[in-house]
Amino acid sequence: MNFHSNPQTMKNLVQIAAQEIGVTEIAGEEDNPIVVKYAKEAGFKDITDDETPWCSVFINWCCKEADLQRTHKANARSWLYIGLPVDDPAPGDIVVFWRDHPQSWQGHVGIFMGYSKDMSQVFTLGGNQRNSVSIQGYDANKVLGFRRLTTEGNLEIPKPILQLGDTKEEVVKLQIILIELGYDCGSKDGVFGPRTEKQLKAMQRHQNQLDNGIYDDKMKAVLENIFQS
C-alpha cells in the first residue's frame, strides 16, 4: 500500500534521533546514564542498565520526544502493529527486521534512512546498533515491514456517517485526521466539500475500501485500527 507522508513529522523524528548519534554502551558493570535515561523517560521503569536490548526503547524515546505514536513495549516487533503499513518508505519511517528466523520473536527496529545503490541493504538510524546510536546497513531481505507513524493524542475519531454536503463538527475531526495522514483536504473548516471527498476517496483506495467518498462504520474501524496504540 502507498500512503502520503507528513514530511515535517518525519524530519523531526530523524533530527531527534540523529542528535543522539555516538551514544554508546559502556563495557563492564558500568552503564551509560544516557541509555538508562532513554528507558526511564520512555516509561520503562524496569530497565535500568545498558545491557538489555534497547533498540525499541530508543525508538520509543525518540517518538515520545517527537510526539508520535509509540508501542510502549521493549520488543522490536511491537512496531509492526501501529501506524500505517507502507511499501514505499521515506526517511523517517520505521523499519522492522527479523533476527534468527522470520517467525521467531526476535527482531530489530530503527528509522529508515534509505537503500544502498543495489537495494541489498537498508540504512537504518537507531539505538543498540553495534552497541550505540548510529546509522548502519541491514540486510534488505530481513525486513518484516515499514510503518509510518502519526501524531499521538489530540485526535478524535469522528462518528459516521459523513458525506458530501455535511457541515457537522464531526467533519472537522475527519479533516484533521485526513491532513495528519497526508491527505491534503485543505482547511479544517468543517465543510465536507469536493476536496474532502476526493481525499477521503484516495484514502479508501489505499485501504482497499470502496472509494465512494462516504465516511461510514467501515472507515471508522479503519481509523481505529490505524490509531491504536
Mean pLDDT within 130-136: 97
Amino acid found at 98: W
Lowest mean per-residue pLDDT among 25-39, 84-98, 143-157: 143-157
CATH code, 169-226: 1.10.101
The model's pLDDT over 172-228, given as tens digits with 9 standing for 90+, comes to: 889 988 987 878 898 788 899 999 999 999 999 989 999 999 999 999 999 988 776
Average pLDDT for the chain: 90
> Architecture of domain 7-148 in CATH?
Alpha-Beta Complex (3.90)
Transcribe 13-55 into DSSP letters: HHHHHHTTTT-BPPSSS---HHHHHHHHHTT-TT--SSSS--H
Q: What nine digits make up the cell of 18?
A: 540523529
Q: What is the pLDDT of residues 26-75, one digit of tens each?
A: 999 999 999 999 999 999 999 999 999 999 999 999 999 998 888 899 99
In the chain, what are the domain boundaries? 7-148, 169-226
Listed residue (46, 44, 48) closest to 36, CA to CA: 48
Separation of alpha carbons 37 and 50, rounded Å: 10
pTM, two decimal places: 0.70
Mean pLDDT of 129-155: 89
